[in-house]
Amino acid sequence: MGTYGRYPLELVRGKGVWLVDSQGRRYLDAVAGIAVCTLGHSDPVLRRALCRQLGKLQHVSNLYRIPEQEALARAICERSGADAVFFCNSGAEANEAAIKLARKHGHTVRGIERPLILTAEASFHGRTLAAVTATGQPKYHQGFEPMVEGFRYFPYNDTAAFEALLAECEAEGPRVAAVLLEPIQGEGGVIPGDPAFFRRVRELCDQHQILLIFDEVQIGVGRSGRWWGHQRLGVEPDAFTMAKGLGGGIPIGALAVKSAVDHFRPGDHASTFGGNPFACRAALTVIAEIERRQLLGHVQAMERLLVDQLLDLASRHPGRIAAVRGWGLLQGVVLSEVGPTAAEVVKAAMAEGLLLVPAGPRVVRIVPPLVIRRRHLRKLIKRLEKALISAC
């Protein structure tokens, strides 16, 4: 079905940060399947691990113990403050699990009959019905009303507005089950969370026994230069979701929780495919390779180089670039109001052999594989500069 406005581009193979189309043209990939292909394309280690797994077992069912899933849950918990993990297949599904967990928390811990979940304006949490309701962007709701009940929105990073909404919701007793936030807003325009705002939200959630849930679907699994975006904020959630980068291109999502809020009991939630041996092998390999290749430190180094070069580019084109913002290898080039739109720059970049993706009408998102290197960044900047000029 025509759910996507697609580019007339057919990608047929890839290697590392490079993609090749059906006409034999090469593209430097600064999209990575939208923050998915952590290790780049056709990574030999991931390929070998998956081939081996295919020769062993692909899928059984969560009716049985799955050693790959247990190992992956342990790997995630060891690298975060979480104690237990639920596995599914996508970001939206991980957020659905978080929303159900939040409601159960509201009922059982706070004794709320009709619990509310507070989310931010300009957020993005996915396209299934509850996840899209959580998404604080009316354009995604249009045509799909009625939305799921029990969501309220506040402006991101706005402490006073958050305090006011919380006070209003709690005026006649407990009503709020959870606050769901991206540590950095991705799709909404690459807007990093403000640590002071997040600390205050954490404090208020603690006071009221409200769950603080982070959507780490885009920034999680190393993209920020830390395992999780919340480690950059210095604020720990009660639960967080991940998906995009976790399987390096194999679909897998997860909800990780602290034991105190591990409210699901047998029968409460389920997924047929979630956490099958094949998908878990992919994620285990991605995590092991991030460590073996020291990609967290590498992302930090690449961030410094990329941001320096983007700021330099901005200083040479002040009429076209208004700002540069982001964390690690999730960077947004904010275009000025008078120049070309993000869609126009992305299209022009494609003609220059560079793949980029918009994050809203005025922000060009740079989300390459984490294995991108210094020499690729130089090419990226050159091609982006040409695109900025030709898009006008």
Ligand X SMILES: *Cc1c(COP(=O)(O)O)cnc(C)c1O
> For binding to ligand X (CB under 6 A), which residues are involved?
90-92, 95, 124-126, 182, 186-187, 215, 217-218, 243-244
Which residue, 227 or 340, is less far from ligand X as judged by CB? 227
Instruction: Name the strand (E) or helix (H) holding 11.
Output: strand 11-15
DSSP state, residue 317: -
Which residue, 36 or 381, is less far from ligand X as judged by CB? 36
Q: How far is the CB of 36 from ligand X (least distance, A)?
A: 9
Q: Catalytic residue at 139? A: no
3 is written with which tokens? 């759910």
CA 289/CA 274 separation, integer angstroms: 22
Which residue, 80 or 218, is less far from ligand X as judged by CB? 218
Which residue, 252 or 348, is less far from ligand X as judged by CB? 252
12 is written with which tokens? 């047929």
CA 255/CA 238 separation, integer angstroms: 11
Q: How far is the CB of 340 from ligand X (least distance, A)?
A: 24
Q: Select which of 215, 240, 258, 278 is catalytic.
A: 215
Q: Say if strands 26-29 and 354-355 run parallel, antiparallel, or are unpaired.
A: parallel
The string of DSSP letters for 279-293 reads HHHHHHHHHHHHHHT
DSSP state, residue 261: G
Q: Catalytic residue at 244? A: yes
Contact (Cβ atoms closer than 8 angstroms) between residue 258 and residue 239: yes
Instruction: Name the strand (E) or helix (H) holding 257.
Output: strand 253-257
Q: Catalytic residue at 86? A: no
356 is written with which tokens? 């980029």
Q: Select which of 238, 244, 258, 278 is catalytic.
A: 244
CA 214/CA 181 separation, integer angstroms: 5
Which residue, 180 or 313, is less far from ligand X as judged by CB? 180
Which residue number is nearest to ligand X in terms of Cβ? 91
Q: How far is the CB of 65 from ligand X (least distance, A)?
A: 26
Q: Which residues have a catalytic role annotated?
A: 124, 215, 244
